[in-house]
Amino acid sequence: MYTQNLRLHSLQLCILPPISLVKLPISLVTRLAMASTMFVRFILRKNVRHPDREGTLYCRVTVDKVEALPFATSVKVFSKNWNPGGQVLKGRTESAQLGNNELTRIRNVFEGYRSEYNRDKINFTAAGLVKRYKESTGSRLSLLELFDAFIEERTGLVGTEISATTLGVDRTRRRALAKFLKARGELTLRPESFTLNYCDAYVHWHRVAEHNGHDYAQKSLGAVQQVLLWGVRREILRANPMNGYEFRKGKDKELVFLDTEELGRISYYPFQLQALRSAAWCFVFQCWTGLAYADLCNLRLPRDIERGTDGRRWLRITRQKSTMMDSYECLVPLLPEAERILTLCDQQLPVRSNAKYNVHLKEVAAICGLSVERLTTHIGRKTAGVLLLNAGVRMEVVSKILGHKSIRITEKIYARILDRTIAEDIERVFGTPRTSPLDIAPMRLDRGGAATGTDGVDWTPATPEQWHKAGPAATGDAGFDSMG
pLDDT digit string (tens) for 36-81?
A: 789 999 999 887 777 888 888 999 999 999 999 888 888 989 999 9
The structure's pTM equals 0.52
Q: What is the pLDDT of residue 417?
A: 62
Q: Give the lowest-confidence range in 212-226, 368-382, 420-434, 447-461.
A: 447-461
Q: Give the lowest-confidence range in 62-71, 238-247, 371-380.
A: 371-380
pLDDT digit string (tens) for 426-477?
A: 676 666 654 444 444 444 444 444 444 444 444 444 455 554 555 544 444 4
Q: What are phi and psi of 255, to 5 degrees?
A: -70, 120
End-to-end CA distance of the chain: 128
CA separation for the pair 311, 306 (Å, rounded): 10
- How many whole angstroms from its chain centre is CA 223? 10
**Quick check: 483 pLDDT over 60?**
no
**Quick check: 261 pLDDT over 50?**
yes
**Residue 191 and residue 143 in contact, taking contact as beta carbons nearer than 8 Å:** yes
Q: What is the pLDDT of residue 180?
A: 96
Q: Kindly report the CATH class assigned to 260-427.
A: mainly alpha
**Quick check: 202 pLDDT over 50?**
yes
Average pLDDT of the residues in 310-337: 74
Region of 347 (left: φ > 0; alpha: ψ -120 to 50; beta: rest) is left
Which percentage of the chain shows pLDDT scores above 70? 73
Q: Of the ranges 151-165, 198-212, 284-298, 358-372, which is most confident?
A: 198-212
**Amino acid sitting at position 50:** H
* pLDDT class of 33 with cuts at 50, 70, 90: very low
Average pLDDT of the residues in 210-236: 91
- How many whole angstroms from its chain centre is CA 131? 30
Average pLDDT of the residues in 263-285: 92
pLDDT digit string (tens) for 398-418?
A: 877 777 767 676 666 666 665
